[in-house]
Structure 1
């Protein structure tokens, strides 16, 4: 009889212990879940050596449209919350330069323009600019409707001087860092 009571108490204790470790399941947790990864990537890279700038007949030594549908891809366009496009312009040439980077839609309309007035080197001139989109920044529609990026560069200096810096060139780089909503 004592063994039966001991066995019954052990079973009862095990059941009470198991019951105290079980929580009610909340299947609505998914609705409260926010998944917002940050993606980052390169957008543009262009460089022009000083000898190319000197050989140009017109002051506008560079003009190119680059097809860019990355922002209009449904995965990005439907999920982007906000982000920043960062530009880095470096000039080691002896030229004062004007550089324009335009976001263009399929119809050829300019949606957004970043203009850089870059002084001549030496010393090396460097311009870093961050442009926010979404939230309190520029409209996300600019990015979503962009289908091309147009880069133009104009020499405001002469076509004969050369920089004292070896391998003199102008470089334009841009990258983007964006927050997306996966859910």
Structure 2
């Protein structure tokens, strides 16, 4: 009798354990999932030595280029952009006062936005500028409608002065970081 009581108790305990530890699974959790990846990338790099700037002449453009920018040419990507930051770094060790202009151009050739950098003659510390797009910054449609970047660099000084630095040059680099929401 004692054995039957233990067996019954064991079976009831086992059934209670099975019923207590199982739960119906809910696979609808994927609907609540929100993924916000950040994409970082370099945009362009400009480097010019002082001899090249001098050979272009005083008060002239020594660099001009239009760079293709197809980051948002897919509509899905453009629609899911939450914000972006473009970081510019400039180092000038030349004896030249310079102006660098970045134009954001759409497919029709219209200028959507412009960033202008007036750079004092060097040697100077590295100038860093971050430009925010999205909430609290410039409009996101500037980025999503840009198809190319127009970069020009102008010598605002003479064409004869030479810096005392060992290897005088201007270095201009930029990078971008974009935050997306994917569902």
> Distance in 2 between the 1:13 and 1:42 partners?
64
What residue in structure 2 maps to residue 105 of structure 1? 106
Note the alpha carbon deviations across 1:130-171, whole angstroms, 9 max, x for none: 111111211111111111111011111111111111221111
What residue in structure 2 maps to residue 96 of structure 1? 97
Which runs of 5 or more residues in structure 2 are unaligned?
Answer: none
Report 1:32-111 matches (<5 A). 32-57=32-57, 59-111=60-112
Q: Tell me, what secondary structure is at the counterpart of 2:46? A: strand
> Distance in 2 between the 1:66 and 1:178 partners?
19
Aligned alpha-carbon RMSD (Å): 1.7
> Distance in 2 between the 1:64 and 1:161 partners?
25
Residues 90 and 76 (structure 1), Cα distance of their counterparts in 2 relative to 1, 3 Å cut: farther
Report 1:134-145 matches (<5 A). 134-145=134-145
Deviation, structure 1 residue 28 = 3.3
Deviation, structure 1 residue 44 = 1.2
Deviation, structure 1 residue 100 = 0.5
> Distance in 2 between the 1:8 and 1:41 partners?
68
Q: Tell me, what secondary structure is at the counterpart of 1:28? A: helix
Deviation >6 Å, runs of 4+? none
> Distance in 2 between the 1:168 and 1:18 partners?
78
Deviation, structure 1 residue 9 = 1.6
> Distance in 1 between the 2:172 and 2:48 partners?
9
> Distance in 2 between the 1:54 and 1:111 partners?
32
Residues 149 and 61 (structure 1), Cα distance of their counterparts in 2 relative to 1, 3 Å cut: same
What residue in structure 2 maps to residue 6 of structure 1? 6
Note the alpha carbon deviations across 1:83-142, whole angstroms, 9 max, x for none: 2111111111110001101111111111111100000112x2422111111112111111
Deviation, structure 1 residue 13 = 1.1
Which runs of 5 or more residues in structure 1 are unaligned?
Answer: none
TM-score by length of 1: 0.91
